[in-house]
Amino acid sequence: MARLATLYTKSGCAHCERQRDDLVRRAVAFTEVDVTTHPEVIPELLKLTRGRRVVPVLVEGARIVVAAEGGSEF
């Protein structure tokens, strides 16, 4: 069974690109949500990050990873 994940990003974010590349390398099925083009997700994202305005944020199953190797503010 394929694992499903959600990756919150913003354009021009090198950290986001690395996280995306890692998901592709691991063959994880994911949906990418760019917070600059979908600002309606920001309240949900702030709950996941406990108020931090940073991407990338990866939700993979029950695991939430917030800017694991650095991030970009939005």
* pLDDT for res 1: 47
Q: Residue 43 forms beta bridges with which residues?
A: none
Terminal C-alpha separation, the chain:
34
Whether the per-residue pLDDT at 2 is higher than 90: the answer is no
Alpha carbons 23 and 20: distance in angstroms, whole number: 5
Whether the per-residue pLDDT at 19 is higher than 80: the answer is yes
* pLDDT for res 68: 84
Helix, strand, coil percentages for the chain (3-state, nearest 5): 30, 35, 35
Is the whole model's pTM more than 0.85, yes or no? yes
Question: Yes or no: is domain 4-73 CATH 3.90.1150.10?
Answer: no
Chain center to CA of 66: 8
Residues 21-68 have pLDDT tens digits of 999 999 999 999 999 999 999 999 999 999 999 999 999 988 999 998
